[in-house]
Amino acid sequence: MHHPARRASRRRAALGLIAAAASLVAATTTAAPASAATWPSASTTKQLSSTLKLSGSTDAKMTRYVGTGDLGGSSQDEGQDPLITLADGATLSNAVIGSPGADGIHCLGSCTLNNVWWEDVGEDAATFKGTSSSTRVLVNGGGARKASDKVFQHNGGGTVTIQNFQVSDFGKLYRSCGNCSKQYKRTVVVKGLTATAPGKTLVGINTNYGDTATLSAITVVGDSSRSLKICERYQGNSTGDEPKSLGTGPGSGCNYTTADVTYR
């Protein structure tokens, strides 16, 4: 004898198991480590023996740029020339900076770096040199790794925004120059960042010059001891001396709360 009630009960149970499995898959997918993002492959490689000077808008179509000759260094020498300079208002999109990377990219004023990837940072990935308080730099997407010192060096003035970016194996993600001969008030905004250990500091600012850092949606991967400094304050100077650290954590120019940082 057939029992419709029993068949209906078995169907409901089966549907329940399917739904539970789907939920588990969705949860597993959602919880995948943020560091699992795939690094892009370059479409071609171009060697640069002298600095490539760009203005306007350039789509590099995932070209990898590497230095050769005078630009063939990967040291921490502050006097290196950059691989690429961007004129005021320029945009560089879809580029890969390989190794050797010399002194990376120099922005001479406002600029946009859209989906730019640094495979092995030399001295710095990018240096921002615009001197006006109205200078605006946007780093949108992309990533950097193997930066023994700094990723982004802010020597000029204005505001730098870093969003939807990933960084791994680094010293500092961003540093407001601590001992440049001419100093400025600088602002940095970091949002939607994934930082994978090892790393020392996300942002460093000079509070005596009025610098501020605003951070949100920060994900830190692989730092079980929570040794990464999210925001460090310094006493900057214009004499070339090593700047003094004034402390870390929220407050006094470091604008974020512990809720803005997630550890995985």
pLDDT per residue as tens digits for the range 127-179 = 999 999 999 999 999 999 999 999 999 999 999 999 999 999 999 999 999 99
Same domain for 90 and 197? yes
Residue 34: pLDDT above 70?
no
The single-letter code of the amino acid at 67 is G
Beta bridge partners of 191: 163, 216
Same domain for 11 and 68? no
Residue 29: pLDDT above 80?
no
The single-letter code of the amino acid at 160 is V
* pLDDT the model gives residue 33: 33
Of the CA atoms within 13 Å of residue 140, those in its CB half-sphere come to 11
Same domain for 10 and 76? no
Rounded mean pLDDT of the chain? Answer: 88
Of the CA atoms within 13 Å of residue 95, those in its CB half-sphere come to 27
With cut-offs at 50, 70 and 90, classify the pLDDT of residue 113.
Answer: very high
Average pLDDT (221-227) is 96
Beta bridge partners of 158: 186
Same domain for 8 and 67? no
Rounded CA separation 264/223 (Å): 8
Average pLDDT (186-205) is 98
With cut-offs at 50, 70 and 90, classify the pLDDT of residue 84.
Answer: very high
The owner of tokens 């500091």 is: 201
Average pLDDT (218-247) is 97
* pLDDT the model gives residue 127: 97
Residue 23: pLDDT above 60?
no
Average pLDDT (105-110) is 98
Whole-model pTM? 0.85
* pLDDT the model gives residue 77: 52
Residue of 202, 223, 221 whose CA lies nearest to 213: 202
Is residue 127 within 8 Å of residue 155, measured between CB atoms?
yes
Residue 197: pLDDT above 90?
yes
Q: How far is CA 41 from CA 33, 68, 117, in A?
A: 21, 21, 10
Same domain for 8 and 87? no
Q: Pull the structure tokens for residue 138.
A: 């946007």
Same domain for 2 and 22? yes
Rounded CA separation 240/245 (Å): 15
Residue 75: pLDDT above 80?
no
Same domain for 137 and 251? yes
Rounded CA separation 125/218 (Å): 20
* CA angle 28–32–37, rounded 5-degree value: 145
* pLDDT the model gives residue 48: 97
Backbone angles phi, psi at 14, to 5 degrees: -65, -45
Same domain for 27 and 48? no
Q: How far is CA 81 from CA 16, 48, 51, 127, in A?
A: 63, 11, 7, 11
Same domain for 3 and 45? no
Q: 3-state secondary structure string, 18-51?
A: HHHHHHHHHHHHHCCCHHHCCCCCCCEEEEECCC
Query: Domain tally for the chain?
Result: 2
Residue 165 vs residue 20, higher pLDDT: 165
* pLDDT the model gives residue 24: 33
Lowest mean pLDDT among 38-42, 108-112, 260-264: 38-42
User: Domain residues for 137?
Assistant: 40-263
Same domain for 2 and 128? no
Same domain for 71 and 12? no
Lowest mean pLDDT among 32-36, 49-53, 153-157, 207-211: 32-36
Same domain for 46 and 172? yes
* pLDDT the model gives residue 15: 42
Strands 84-86 and 57-67: unpaired
